[in-house]
Amino acid sequence: MRKILRERSRNLNREVWESPSVYGGEDVNQAHNLLQAVARVNRVGGANKDKGFVVDYVGIGHHLKRAIDNYDEREQQEIEETLSFPEDEIRQLEDDHRKIIALLKQHGLTDLNDQDAFFDLFYDEDVRFEFMLAFKKLTRSLNLVYPAKEALNYMRDYQSLTAVNILAGKHFRDERLSMKGIPPKLRALTDQYLQSRGIDEKVKPISILDKDFESHVQKHQRVKTKAAAIEHALRHYIEIDLVDDPELQASFSEALRAIFEEFKDNWDKIYQELEKLRQKAREAKNEPTYGLDRKKQLPFFRMFKRECFGEAALTDDMVSQMVALTQQVFTVVEQELQLTSFWESIPARKKLRAEIQKVLLSPDFFQIPNLMDNREQIISRVMEIAEKNNDRIF
């Protein structure tokens, strides 16, 4: 807009000098200055400035109209299309507010302070995404109108929706629901509101391994909300915390999938089973290492145990054999990974597979069940774990 108005005012000045009889010099200067003033209001001012408003305190509106009248019909239309007035933004704000409230009412939600109801509703990711888009539009339109008094009519609802935005982001571990994108002048108001409600956006969601996690979940009233809190905390734990332990990651992923497949829509049972799985995650954190390095070697140990013994408990002799197997295989892996650009070298990979097979075929491990029969799969799993943990191993 600023560029268009600036160009039009320059053209007007040029036309005056070429045809002085057509325009009065004072009128033209006034027209030029008015258009320049409007252009300056819309000067770029950073990512948080969408536009500026010209407030007519002294009745200059009719002069601006006369300035625009100096152009032909096509040029007038171009200029007027770049000029919008607060009434347009107020109508847009009304419409955006109406739409987000209608979206929530459509799904039976009428109390903007019923956080559990929001959590249950947002369990549907499609609805959650619809809310994100509607909230973004409401934020933009409110930012354009505020601090006009008309904006104050929507501020209470907006603050409630902002609190929902933050809390739902923590509940679902969804970073798209955050304070990002809220302009500074609205942040000043929403931050005060969040503080009054005891909501700190900077505090990370509580981990399922935290001793206070259960009491945090119990604050919710609905069983589905409690289950969802555990579910999404588990998913985050599996995807982030277990990324370097594919065996444990696969085990928990499968257990989580099985719960929802077996107890579909039975939220009482789902909640019970998810809580059991959460307890297993806490136990896994404190599992014995048998003298192995927890980060480097234990992932290999778990994989060998699963492939050879399944879920069976190990005797002391079995543990000793598995520890020895883990240590020997790890030594081979650690040595071979020292080669520069190891994973880009096909010959190097083949050599490592051959070295691993030598260890598996050693007479020291003949008594380990399923080791021989499953050796191809075991070798592949060793390679997978080694590649994911490359930086940690070497």
Domain ranges for the chain: 2-84, 87-196, 213-285, 298-393
**What are the angstrom distances between the C-alpha of 310 and each of 243, 251, 252, 370?**
21, 11, 14, 10
Q: How far is CA 335 from the centre of its chain?
A: 39
pLDDT of the residue at 15: 42
110, with CB counted inside 10 A (0-12, 13-18, 19+), is exposed
C-alpha to C-alpha distance for 29 and 33, rounded to whole angstroms: 6
User: Two tokens at 75?
Assistant: 């040029």
pLDDT of the residue at 13: 43
pLDDT of the residue at 313: 87
CA angle 267, 272, 278 (to 5 degrees): 120
Q: What is the dihedral of CA 31, 36, 37, 39, to 10 degrees?
A: 130
Residues of the chain with pLDDT under 70: 1-86
pLDDT of the residue at 124: 94
CB under 8 A, 24+ apart: contacts of 94-103: 95/141, 96/134, 96/137, 96/138, 96/140, 96/141, 96/142, 97/138, 97/141, 97/154, 97/157, 99/134, 99/137, 100/131, 100/134, 100/135, 100/137, 100/138, 100/161, 101/157, 103/130, 103/131, 103/134
pLDDT of the residue at 158: 96
C-alpha to C-alpha distance for 374 and 283, rounded to whole angstroms: 28
pLDDT of the residue at 86: 66
